[in-house]
Amino acid sequence: MEAKLAEVQALNAQLTAVNARMAAELRRRTESLELMREERREMLPSLEIVRGEVRRQAETIMGLQSEMALLNTKHKQTCRCLVERLALEMKKRDTKIAELEDIASPPTSPNDWWTGKKEQRARRIAASVRQQLASGVAANASHAGMRDEDADLLVETVESFAVEVLALGGNRLGWRGAAKIAEMLLSKRCVLVSLNLRWNRIGDDGVAAISRALEVNNTLVDLDLWDNGIGAKGAASLGEALARNHTLATLSLWDNPIGDDGVVAIAAALDETNAALSSLDLTNTNLGPRGLEALSATASLQTLHCGHNPRVGAVAGATALARALENNNNNNNKKTPAAAKNLRTLYAEASGFGDFGAQVIARALETNTALTELNLADNKIGADGAAVLVEVLGKKKKINNSTLRLLHLDHNINLGPTAVVGLCETPGLHELTLAGVNVGTNAAGLVAQIIAGDPDHPLRFVVMNEERLVNEFYEQPSLFESLCCRLAVCTCQPQERDSVVTRPLFSPPMPPRPSELKKGPSARRVVTPKQKKTQHHEDHHQRGLLAALFDRRS
């Protein structure tokens, strides 16, 4: 191969030299012709000499043209030989890959219709799944470029290994691939418990096929259909399946535009006759007041995510949620309606509630004895709405019947320092997140003192803006040390808090002086040469102001 490449390079050099000679001869011929045209020349012998020179140059040019033609022919032949040799090498490599895939893939029937690249891709995915299943019952084929035609072989592999957890997110599966997966769910050999199909293209037709399988399947517990282009028609199919299915416990429809019609169809199935589905994710599904009203009457849900639906609104949406929370009781009173009586976790972030919606929901918490986690982040709640929350939570502790332990109010910028301090003084809360809230330096320091001053204070996880606490911590080192296990200063979203490292990576260092911080939007700590002398400061610089959140106290 290298010899052929060297030969091609030599031919290119020869062609370049011939072209240069040709150009020189053409220039000489032009000069000779110019001499012949000069009328001042009257000496015939000189004219004859010029004519002879022109004839000689013409012969030289013809010879050069012949030589160039021969070189071009040889160059083409050499290049063709090089290409053929490269193709042969590629063919040998592809043959070797195919042989290895044949060893790893399950046997196929004589009438197998897989050919070419489709066969190679399908076998590669199947081989990857088989390799994962060799050490367990879970397989991850996410972002593998899988298409509908690959699903057949994959399903056969999954069934033969009794897979319980299957992740197929981020592929190109359409309704045909979903139909193959539905056939797998109908199989008697299927023991699948969790199925992740997020970020595919199954659409309404694909989810209809899966819904028909769910009517019969009694093994699947967790189904993730995040961002699959499912509309109201597909949601209606799911609703019909949920009315007959008694095993599916978790369903995610995040980022599917099912709208109110789709939500109503699903909510209709979640009555007392179906106590299986306990967690429903309807984030960013174009949910409106009518759909939320239907959900407020459901009896089986324990976890509901309905955030990022701005159509919900402050009046109708908050009222519907309040109605559900008012009836959400854990007592044995027979007069309590069945609606939403089991709801434990409610995420309603970015729903446009405002102060009015926050006040309505807060009043509903007065009679609620079941909800343990509430997320009202990014709802434009101000001091008025937060004040009612403080009032209700403080009142409930007097009668000692509150169950709310986790409250997320992140990115409600104008909560105000008074409400923040009041929430921290509420003894019932165990976790409070205030990332992106303008707390104020004085209020932040007061919050820290409240928590540090009471070793038995139940509030063990507070998320606040780190810049607000720099001055307070620097002036009071003992205060910082006393908060190591319960106070975190960061700007993470509530749903991201579990992904952040929550165990100490090193002994918590003191924050830098304010003068050691750069000003501006891209503020980074400036480490002096003196600080660089110790590994402690180097680690502190690499990991940031507070690189780890601290363990929650049990």
Q: Who has greater pLDDT, 27 or 257?
A: 257
Highest mean pLDDT among 61-75, 121-135, 372-386, 530-544: 372-386
Q: List the beta bridge partners of residue 373.
A: 345, 406
Which whole number is the average pLDDT over 35-58?
63
Q: Is the Cβ–Cβ distance between 321 and 296 less than 8 Å?
A: yes
Residue percentage of the chain with pLDDT more than 90:
29
Q: pLDDT tens-digit profile of 229-257?
A: 999 999 999 999 999 999 999 999 999 99
Answer whether residue 494 shows pLDDT above 60: no
Which whole number is the average pLDDT over 410-435?
87
Bridge-based pairing state of the strands 194-196 and 250-252? unpaired
Residue 277 has a CB neighbour count (10 Å cut-off) of 22
Q: List the beta bridge partners of residue 404.
A: none
Q: Indicate the residue type of 430.
A: H
CA dihedral 517, 519, 523, 528 (to 10 degrees): -30
| Residue found under tokens 């003191």 | 510
Q: What does the block give as tokens for 536?
A: 């402690």
Fill in the DSSP letter of residue 456.
T
Q: pLDDT tens-digit profile of 441-472?
A: 677 777 777 776 676 777 777 776 645 455 55
State the burial class of residue 229 (Cβ atoms within 10 Å of its Cβ: 0-12, 13-18, 19+): middle
Fill in the DSSP letter of residue 175.
H
pLDDT band of 283, cuts 50, 70, 90 = very high
**Mean predicted lDDT score pLDDT of the chain:** 74
Answer whether residue 132 shows pLDDT above 90: no
What's residue 387's pLDDT?
93
Answer whether residue 393 shows pLDDT above 60: yes
What's residue 371's pLDDT?
92
What's residue 134's pLDDT?
55
Cα 143 from Cα 458, distance rounded (Å): 43
Across 43-47, 103-107, 118-122, least confident range: 103-107
> Burial letters for 247-260: b for 16+ Cβ neighbours within 10 Å, e otherwise?
ebbbbbbbbbebbb
3-state secondary structure 240-290: HHHCCCCCCCEEECCCCCCHHHHHHHHHHHCCCCCCCCCEEECCCCCCCHH
**For 259-302, where are the alpha helices, taking DSSP H only?**
259-269, 289-295
| Residue found under tokens 């309905």 | 306
pLDDT band of 186, cuts 50, 70, 90 = very high
Answer whether residue 157 shows pLDDT above 70: yes
Across 128-137, 152-161, 323-332, least confident range: 128-137
Q: List the beta bridge partners of residue 102.
A: none
Bridge-based pairing state of the strands 279-281 and 303-305? parallel
What's residue 217's pLDDT?
94
CA distances from 122 to 28, 70, 116 (A): 66, 49, 10
Q: Is the Cβ–Cβ distance between 408 and 375 less than 8 Å?
A: yes
What's residue 150's pLDDT?
83
Answer whether residue 139 shows pLDDT above 60: yes
Cα 398 from Cα 407, distance rounded (Å): 19
Q: Which of 279, 286, 271, 173 is nearest to 232 (CA)?
A: 286
Q: Indicate the residue type of 316.
A: A
Residue percentage of the chain with pLDDT more than 70:
64
Q: Who has greater pLDDT, 504 or 293?
A: 293
Which whole number is the average pLDDT over 177-201?
93
Q: Which secondary-structure segment (H or E) carries 461?
A: strand 461-464
What's residue 517's pLDDT?
41
pLDDT band of 222, cuts 50, 70, 90 = very high
